[in-house]
Amino acid sequence: MGAAFVGSPAQAQADFPDETARASVIEASLDRLSTEQGVLGFAGELAAMNDLSGAATALEAFLLANENSEAVRTQYAVTLCRLDDVEAGKFEGAKLLSMKASTRSIDAVTAACGQLTDPAKLALGGEQP
């Protein structure tokens, strides 16, 4: 996936000498980010490279179109807490509680963020989970 991220137009030309190759890499990247497993894998790769902000961004983008994805929301909450945005991580965890998510998901978020609050008592910026 690293070849899909280029530093300059000159580097892009060297990495992908023709438009077809460049388009194929972009299409493969978009396809990968459109599936739950794909975005989880991509976010995991970014996190392994200490790019937690990039991981959170990818997960958040996926959730905009797939708000009921328990696995992605769980990883998003955990990633937010790893970024020291515990309030936002707990808010996402509260959404999981309101979705009646699995114990495994709730435990993962609790381990990363601390005890979660009952969704009925939690409000962040006026939004309810």
Does the pLDDT at position 99 exceed 80?
Answer: yes
- In the chain, which ranges are continuous DSSP H helix? 9-15, 19-33, 36-48, 52-65, 70-82, 86-98, 103-113
| Overall pTM > 0.75 | no
Per-residue pLDDT tens digits for 25-69: 556 666 677 899 999 998 998 899 999 999 999 999 999 999 999
Distance CA 10, CA 36 (A): 33
Euclidean distance between CA atoms 127 and 129, whole angstroms: 7
Contact present, 77 and 98 (Cβ < 8 Å): no
Distance of alpha carbon 51 from alpha carbon 21, whole angstroms: 26
| pLDDT confidence of residue 2 | 40
The C-alpha atoms of residue 87 and residue 41 are separated, in whole angstroms, by 25
Measured in degrees and rounded to the nearest 5, phi and psi for residue 127 equal -85, 135
Residue 66's φ and ψ, nearest 5 degrees, are -135, 65
Inform me whether the pLDDT recorded for 6 exceeds 80. no
CA pair distance 106, 100, nearest whole angstrom: 9
| Helix (H) or strand (E) run with residue 106 in it | helix 103-113
CB distance 95 to 68 below 8 Å: no
Mean pLDDT within 101-126: 81
pLDDT of 123: 54
What pLDDT does residue 28 have?
63
Residue 14 clears pLDDT 60, i.e. is over it: no
What pLDDT does 34 receive?
Answer: 82
Q: What is the pLDDT of residue 33?
A: 78
Cα–Cα nearest to 90, from 129, 36, 43: 129
Q: Which CATH number fits domain 9-121: 1.20.144, 3.40.50, 1.25.40, 1.10.286?
A: 1.25.40
Looking at residue 117, what is its pLDDT? 78
